[in-house]
Amino acid sequence: MYDFHGKTALVTGASRGIGRAIAVALARGGARVALNYAGNQAAAEEALRLVREAGSPEARLFQFDVADADAVTRAVDEVVKSMGGLHILVNNAGVALDQLVMRLKDEDWKRQLDVNLTGAFHLIRAATRPMMKARGGVIVNLTSVVGEMGNAGQAAYSATKAGLIGLTKSVARELASRNVRVNAVAPGYIDTDMTAAVPEGARQKLAEMIPLGRLGSAEDVAAAVAWLCSDQASYVTGEVLRVNGGMHM
């Protein structure tokens, strides 16, 4: 258990899956959690309930599209004003519109870039000012194993996740002198709603590709994010922490 009392955390894409698990993990440490979601109100309300039960009674929902720069700026300003600042930012929101590159539509390529990469840039830019003013903060970007090793049918998704790694390292260098740490977590195949639709035979083949012999859980990823957000990782910045069961080393 890490101590996040007195800190406000904004988690994007927090209505389900990995984002929800991260929000719960931070709440257990006492953080005031702001949960972003795009449109699934029912899932967001359930996530809010779980986060409040986990230890963040002041948790709030913020609905906005991370690809909308103005909406991001307004939301971050509101978090800072209404929740006592912004000390932790977790960029988890993302979309995957898988297709072979020869069949990939322009709009699907652009949407993945806008949400997965440009969205994270919008959040980082908006969060930089309050964090620099406070002379401290933590940013964690959720990239992916495919951002490092690629994957057939995921050219756009892989490109955005690889871009997040470069963004992470560059911003880590820019903000280190202000005591703002910036890291990335690269999950492998995680058992979430996105992978639940994979046929059992395919899931078994995936497990055989992983040295630890299983898909990861959202909680596995959340634990890594919580550590990077904690004071125990105070000398860690510009790193990519792989949570993939050994699939890519």
> Which helix (H) or strand (E) is 90 found in, with range?
strand 88-91
CA-to-CA distance for 66 and 116, rounded, in angstroms? 9
Q: How far apart are CA 178 and CA 152, in angstroms?
A: 40
Nearest to 29 by CA among 225, 180, 184: 225
The residue annotated as part of the active site, out of 37, 157, 189, 235, is 157
For 186-202, b/e burial (b = at least 16 CB within 10 A) is bbbbbbbeeeeeeeeee
Taking the C-alpha atoms of residue 30 and residue 26, their distance in angstroms, rounded to an integer, is 7
Half-sphere exposure of 59 (CA within 13 A, CB side): 31
Q: Are 191 and 243 in contact (CB under 8 A)?
A: no
- Catalytic (active site) residue 37: no
Contact by Cβ (8 Å): 183, 139: yes
**Distance between CA atoms of residues 118 and 207, nearest Å:** 32
Active site residues: 157
